[in-house]
Structure 1
């Protein structure tokens, strides 16, 4: 799995969550909602500065963005792109899933 965080999303996370160098954001699946690839589950995130058993991660502007191993089921077979476009929705980031062929 690959996680991509755009420049604009990185700035949004830093501003909205008060993140600085060395902080982290964990992505995970939660019950209720809908994504383009999961019915009945939605994508969630939380600040987590101490990841353990990381399944996938990337670092952007000194911030660690990651998925823990116990959330592999939600992302397996997909890459995640995180973007922010204030013209489309000034309050939300945009998540895009791309198939990666992982079994």
Structure 2
């Protein structure tokens, strides 16, 4: 799968690393797939909002979750996005709170 992107936006380049991160934490393939789709939605939303990686702060996450709740019932809470933020922070990609 390396080198193949399934979505666009500022987070597209980290999809493979995010998958590996979740695998290392013991997530199942189903759970990984759900969270990668969350990552894709977040990435596309960031592109639409004109946000770069450094612009992903707590207020931006809250705005994203509000949008996600309009169209999704799964992984649609701030807490659901925390694993993505934890991953991004581990690489110094998202702004710390």
Report which of the two has the higher share of helix.
Answer: 2
- Regarding TM over 0.5, the answer is no
TM-score under structure 1 length normalisation? 0.28
- Larger Cα-atom Rg: 1
